[in-house]
């Protein structure tokens, strides 16, 4: 019961709870006795609670990895009354997401995300609306710089602003969280809106900080419980504080986005598109007489919100891990900076330098592997009945592709739990690709901003390491730097401060 300790300060009346338990127990019996095919193995669930007593809700990915050691690479757990199939290990996850891409290609939309998005946008939607928004988003992200020279120039410009902020700390300890997130956020803002924002802009700060906090709360134990038992909101309020905060914050963010969109709409020139929003508005005008068009205001606002949040927090979090790991392992930082000095010197890095910086490239990849920021990916749901690796999985079953089990697969990585750039280098020190490197997931739901994220990570990292040496705060040794992640939907580093000492 330790996983529930501290989460139950108020309980509904006993008779109400008993009635709910009995109803869910009947539903559980009906849902778990289909008699069709062979179910994946797993620990025996309890009525209502499912396998909660086997799981640590604050480190769910760790619990699932432990269960995979006993039950194999395809197994079943019950998150409360909900049946979930977990996929573990590189071979199984790749087979499911790539070779069975259609069957495992739908998005599982948890109650909290249903509450927030109502099926709009590109991240938590399915069907034709999702297909249209993903196609349009991918095409226009590319048009406005993702993976292209225009995108490179935006990142280089933003790197200069970020370096100025770091310089202002004059080697004193500081929290990298906000400046790194603001810099990364400005890249997606430049692509979406056609312009960047000043780091001191209160509205910009509010949106970036609010989106990050929402992502953190979405991975909290309270929200995990709400997703398992959404009916709790009708009989008690103990799990609704985080939900209420998410809904309120998201409403404010959507209103701010709609305000920015209106400003762009008022100055729209179809012959001179500034970014993603302009392109969407033009498409909306062209389809204004088409009933059922997906190019409506809600899809625009929520798609922008999803691109903004996902495009900021994932890359920003990875960069913060990068700086922390450089301070933690100064000998690796030394080798990166030696290579940068030897190959680039004092000129600004460019994307084309990557092929001549194999060690630096390997370090960036290893940071992504070890940081493991989205350990359970975003859950899927099966689009049809399927027999997979000899097991029957019913249509509509929630599926968790356990990415942490891929990035730390002991059959694929020599030292899976250690920071080792050698994972991506051959015996001659040349960079090598690894099939089990899957931080962006795979298949039809793979991260649509992968090429942008890869460019951002390389350019921001090389710009920063070229100019600064990172170390712990005075009085803190490298060994004392904590690599334990904070609880959240995305795994951030625990709160910390670093010193950035100028090398130039």
DSSP readout, 229-252? -TTHHHH--TT-HHHHHHHHHHHH
Burial status of residue 36 (CB atoms within 10 A of its CB: 0-12, 13-18, 19 or more): exposed
Q: How many CA atoms lie within 13 A of 234 on its CB side?
A: 6
Cα-trace Rg, the chain? 23
pLDDT score for 241? 86
pLDDT score for 448? 87
Q: Is the dihedral of CA 376, 382, 385, 387 positive or negative?
A: negative
Q: How far apart are CA 400 and CA 65, in angstroms?
A: 12
pLDDT score for 233? 75
Q: How far apart are CA 171 and CA 500, in angstroms?
A: 5
pLDDT score for 237? 61
pLDDT beneath 50, residues of the chain: 1-12, 14-15, 26, 28-35
Q: How far apart are CA 380 and CA 106, in angstroms?
A: 6
pLDDT score for 191? 93
pLDDT score for 374? 95
Looking at the whole model, is its pTM more than 0.75? yes
Q: What is the pLDDT of residues 134-182, one digit of tens each?
A: 999 999 988 887 767 778 999 999 999 999 999 999 999 999 999 999 9
Q: How far apart are CA 81 and CA 74, in angstroms?
A: 19
pLDDT score for 197? 96
Q: Which residues are annotated as a binding site for heme?
A: 447
Q: How far apart are CA 378 and CA 107, in angstroms?
A: 8
**Secondary structure in 3-state letters for 34-77:** CCCCCCCCCCCCECCCECHHHCCHHHHHHHHHHHHHHHCCEEEE
Q: Which residues are annotated as a binding site?
A: 447
């Amino acid at each position: 019961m330790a996983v529930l300790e501290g989460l139950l300060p108020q309980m509904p009346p006993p008779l109400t709870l008993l009635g709910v338990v009995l109803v869910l127990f009947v539903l559980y019996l009906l849902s778990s006795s289909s008699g069709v095919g062979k179910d994946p193995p797993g620990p025996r669930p309890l009525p209502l609670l499912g396998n909660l007593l086997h799981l640590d809700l604050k480190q769910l990915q760790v619990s699932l990895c432990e269960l995979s050691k006993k039950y194999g690479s395809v197994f079943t757990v019950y998150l409360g009354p909900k049946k979930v199939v977990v996929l573990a290990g590189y071979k199984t996850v790749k087979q499911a997401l790539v070779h069975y891409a259609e069957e495992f290609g739908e998005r599982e939309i948890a109650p909290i995300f249903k509450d927030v998005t109502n099926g709009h946008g590109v991240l938590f939607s399915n069907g034709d609306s999702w297909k249209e928004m993903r196609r349009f988003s991918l095409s226009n992200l590319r048009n406005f710089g993702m993976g292209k020279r225009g995108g490179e120039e935006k990142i280089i410009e933003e790197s200069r602003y970020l370096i100025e902020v770091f310089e202002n700390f004059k080697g004193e300890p500081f929290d990298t969280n906000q400046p790194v997130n603001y810099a990364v956020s400005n890249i997606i803002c430049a692509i979406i809106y056609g312009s960047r924002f000043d780091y001191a802009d209160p509205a910009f700060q509010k949106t970036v900080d609010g989106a990050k906090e929402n992502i953190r709360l979405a991975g909290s134990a309270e929200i995990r419980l709400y997703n398992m038992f959404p009916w709790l909101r009708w009989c008690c309020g103990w799990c609704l504080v985080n939900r209420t905060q998410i809904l309120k914050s998201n409403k404010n963010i959507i209103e701010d986005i709609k305000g920015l969109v209106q400003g762009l709409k008022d100055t729209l020139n179809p012959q001179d598109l500034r970014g993603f929003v302009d392109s969407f508005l033009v498409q909306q005008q062209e389809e204004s007489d088409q009933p059922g068009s997906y190019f409506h205001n809600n899809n625009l606002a929520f798609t922008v919100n999803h691109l903004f949040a996902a495009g900021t927090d994932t890359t920003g979090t990875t960069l913060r891990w990068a700086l922390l790991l450089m301070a933690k392992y100064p000998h690796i930082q030394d080798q990166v900076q030696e290579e940068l000095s030897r190959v680039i010197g004092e000129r600004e890095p460019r994307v084309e330098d990557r092929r001549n910086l194999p060690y630096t490239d390997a370090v960036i990849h290893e940071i992504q592997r070890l940081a493991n920021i989205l350990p359970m990916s975003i859950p899927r749901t099966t689009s049809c009945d399927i027999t997979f690796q000899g097991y029957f999985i019913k249509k509509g079953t929630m599926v968790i592709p356990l990415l942490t089990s891929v990035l730390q697969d002991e059959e694929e990585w020599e030292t899976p739990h250690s920071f080792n750039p050698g994972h991506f280098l051959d015996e001659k020190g040349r960079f090598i690709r690894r099939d089990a490197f899957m931080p962006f997931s795979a298949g039809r739901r793979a991260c649509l901003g992968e090429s942008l994220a890869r460019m951002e990570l390389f350019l921001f990292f090389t710009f920063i390491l070229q100019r600064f040496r990172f170390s712990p705060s005075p009085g803190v040794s490298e060994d004392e730097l904590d690599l334990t992640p904070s609880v959240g939907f995305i795994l951030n580093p625990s709160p910390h401060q670093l010193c950035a000492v100028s090398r130039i």
